[in-house]
Amino acid sequence: MQSTLTATQLQQVLLLIEEAHNAPNAQALRQCVVYGVGAMVESSSCAWTELKSDLFTTTTATATVVDISDKDVDVNESIQLFNRYASQHPVIARAVHSGNANAQSISDFLTRSEFQNLELYQYLYKHLHTEDQLSVGFVENGYVTGLSVNRATWGFTENERSLLNHVARCVFPFYRILQKDNHSETENRPMVETYMGIITEQYQVLGITPREGDVLALIARGKSNKQIALAFNISEGTVKKHVENLFRRMEVNNRVSLTIKAMTMIQIGRHL
């Protein structure tokens, strides 16, 4: 995926990922991401939603989780309305039928008048001040999990799509870990530590050596060359050489871009 993010945005994304990966449980991760994305993208609110993916064969959906950044919203009422009209949502429909996980907006599929004519809009989104919505998600084990940015205006930029894609591709795999390991030690381990182990195991996916994988794992943890040298009992010069090799192999020129690209390439969820 070609990044259109600025250096500042990449840094913001990495900080959000760090915070999310250290969340103690799934709810804390969801709330962290919802509020973090809302601070980075112009929006009326952001939401994390989960619902059964068989909604297109039934009259209503069943949303099991809804976290929204707008504290004035009646969440229970919103869940009921969303359950009733979710089958009209074009982005959800596309995700269920095609498995497309990239960020897409309602305006990619409908005209503004078509959207406003939907009951989904008239009974729910209109009252949430949502004239368009950008969503990214995944379908797994009969459920659709989605992260959405709601906006009071029409349309989203490619930059905003890229930002949401970066966040989702780095956060969703760790959310899967929390869901799958509810009663294991993994739940209480910082998520970035779990990521470090996965980098070390999946270094071949990135086309790097095992030692470069070790170095990259600590770079993802925010460690300096000196700290990495102490961790592996090697010289700072050797660490510097590993970092230069990583930049060259991954075709990046800074540590933030290196971490984001590695996370994206590995697509951790496919290996769990």
The stretch 144-160 carries a mean pLDDT of: 94
Residue 165: pLDDT above 80?
yes
Residue 70: pLDDT above 90?
no
Q: Give CATH for domain 190-271.
A: 1.10.10.10
pLDDT in tens, 227-264: 889 888 899 999 999 999 999 988 888 887 787 777 76
In the chain, what is the greatest distance between 2 CA atoms, to the nearest angstrom? 65
Boundaries of every domain in the chain: 7-180, 190-271
Give how far Cα 258 sits from Cα of 125, 206, 245, Å: 38, 11, 11
pLDDT in tens, 115-129: 999 999 999 999 989
| Separation between Cα atoms, residue 203 and residue 11, nearest integer Å | 23
Contacts 24+ apart (CB under 8 A), 245-253: 245/208, 245/212, 246/208, 246/212, 246/215, 246/216, 246/219, 249/206, 249/207, 249/208, 249/212, 250/206, 250/208
If one compares 5 and 129, the residue with the highest pLDDT of the two is 129
Superfamily (CATH H level) for 7-180: Transcription factor LuxR-like, autoinducer-binding domain (3.30.450.80)
Closest C-alpha among 216, 212, 237, 241 to residue 226: 237
The 3-state secondary structure of 15-58 reads HHHHHHHCCCCHHHHHHHHHHHHHHHCCCCEEEEEEEECCHHHC
If one compares 80 and 264, the residue with the highest pLDDT of the two is 80
Quote the pLDDT of residue 270. 41
Residues contacting residue 210 through CB under 8 Å, at least 6 positions apart: 200, 203
Task: With beta carbons less than 8 A apart as the criterion, state whether 218 and 228 touch.
Answer: yes
Give how far Cα 32 sits from Cα of 19, 25, 161, Å: 7, 11, 19
Quote the pLDDT of residue 59. 44
Tell me the whole-structure pTM to 2 decimals.
0.70
Q: Does the fold of domain 190-271 match that of domain 7-180?
A: no
